[in-house]
Structure 1
Amino acid sequence: MTFLYVVLLGLAVSLDGFVAGMAYGMKGIRMPLISLVIVGLVTAVCAGTAMALANVLGAIINTQLAISCGAVLLILLGLFSLFQEYLTKEVRSYQAVGEVTARKLSFSVGRLVISIVAKPETADVDKSNNISPLESIFLGLALGLDNMLAAFAAALMGWLPPATPLVMGAIQMVVISAGLYSAKRFVPEQVKKRFPYLPGTILILIGLLRLG
């Protein structure tokens, strides 16, 4: 049951990776295996760091309070996911004015990560139609933020298997690969348009179940 819970949690926060994979496939952007592995490793590191911090905090505060805080964080993360489409529309409008370039990479890393979340193909900074290992680090950070928050919240609510970060990283790799493959067979954004509120709804349900 615990493993299923971790997988469900990982899938809930990794569906954006599927959309990113579809975006790359439709744009003809390639992702070598080494870059895909780096994205998975960055995701795992983010989740592992969050779990470690949650364990330290959980040892300090009351157990019931920690569980409640974790559940509330999951619900808030789910609510944010529900409004993510509206938030990213503003960033997409900004992107229409000026694309992120290699020069901006040096001076505005934070903006680059935000841009990747809103428009995944922005990760291909050098426009080579190939996600390099360096570019995959920033892509991993962009896609790993939700994993980090979810792992932190879940770890506050209770014990998670030590392999949780690796599972989340592996799921990220699988969904990106699935997106790249599906881009050859499905209409762009089809899945996301059909199930736009699925990730957020799953997170909210997990949080509500833990509060109950």
Structure 2
Amino acid sequence: MGIVLFTFLFGLAVSVDSFGIGCMIGLKKIGISKKGICAIACLSGCCYLLSAYLGEWIKPFIDQAYAERFGALGLIAIGLFFLFHCLRKPEKPTQEDNVWAQPTKVLQSPEAADLDRSGQIKGRELLLLSLALSLDTFAAGISGSFIGIDPNLTACLILIMTTFMLLAGVRSGEKLSKKINNISILPGMLLIIIGLIKLV
């Protein structure tokens, strides 16, 4: 598989969950500004870049014969983790502290990011949604550096794709409401497939 196509698929795997989140936000009639979406995308890209450089720093201390294998296994583990959370019955958090302590709950019920129930995601709520979306991004950054994916190119792809996915998801939430559950498992599946490709 060509490195450009592989990098694109990797960026898509890390970003595509933004589409499902956007769909559910749109379905619940919760507003989010374009500036807010851009801020979330920038934070996701920066989070990936930070973790990728962390992985590059760790990489010299690991036998190169095993680094790629560790990275591939890491991607598979991340994929399984997100599949597990997607397939679990959603739990709606009732306390704000509970949401900050377990941001994965926002992935199951994105409306939980609207902490003040104002119908708009703004201010620190954008940070909470960014944190939830960056969980796989941060872990994937370290694994991606181990398997030789370019950090800068991938961070840019994630920024662009996350912006597009969130915008498209919010605008098409109602039309795709019946398919949201199927869409939500794509990130985990793609990460597992990429990890398996690198293992073989």
TM-score by length of 2: 0.89
CA 1:201 to 1:115, structure 2 compared with 1: closer, same or farther past 3 Å? closer
Tell me the alpha carbon deviations over residues 48-103 of structure 1, each in whole angstroms, 9 at most, x when there is no partner: 1110111011112111211110011111112223322344x2x51xx2xx6234xx
Cα deviation for residue 159 of structure 1 reads 4.3
CA distance in 2, matches of 1:26, 1:122: 13
* 1:54 aligned residue: 55
Q: How does 1:60-75 map to 2 (within 5 A)?
A: 60-75=61-76
Q: Tell me the SS of whatever aligns to 1:99.
A: coil
Give 5+ residue unaligned stretches, structure 1.
none
Cα deviation for residue 24 of structure 1 reads 1.3
Cα deviation for residue 45 of structure 1 reads 1.8
Q: Is the 8 A contact 2:14 2:158 kept in 1?
A: no
* 2:77 aligned residue: 76
CA RMSD of aligned residues (A): 2.1
Cα deviation for residue 20 of structure 1 reads 1.3
Cα deviation for residue 46 of structure 1 reads 1.3
Say whether 1:126 aligns with 2:127.
no
* 1:169 aligned residue: 159
Cα deviation for residue 125 of structure 1 reads 0.8
Tell me the alpha carbon deviations over residues 158-209 of structure 1, each in whole angstroms, 9 at most, x when there is no partner: 14152321221221121111111111423x2x33334564332221221121
CA 1:197 to 1:24, structure 2 compared with 1: closer, same or farther past 3 Å? closer
Give 5+ residue unaligned stretches, structure 2.
none
CA 1:195 to 1:162, structure 2 compared with 1: closer, same or farther past 3 Å? closer
* 1:38 aligned residue: 39
Q: Tell me the SS of whatever aligns to 2:181.
A: helix
Number of equivalences: 199
Q: Is the 8 A contact 2:41 2:163 kept in 1?
A: yes
CA 1:7 to 1:191, structure 2 compared with 1: closer, same or farther past 3 Å? farther
* 2:101 aligned residue: 110
TM-score by length of 1: 0.84
Q: Look up the equivalent residue of 1:150 and give its one-letter code.
A: A
Tell me the alpha carbon deviations over residues 88-119 of structure 1, each in whole angstroms, 9 at most, x when there is no partner: x2x51xx2xx6234xx48xx7323x2331221
Identity across the alignment (%)? 29
Q: Is the 8 A contact 2:30 2:119 kept in 1?
A: yes
Say whether 1:205 aligns with 2:193.
yes
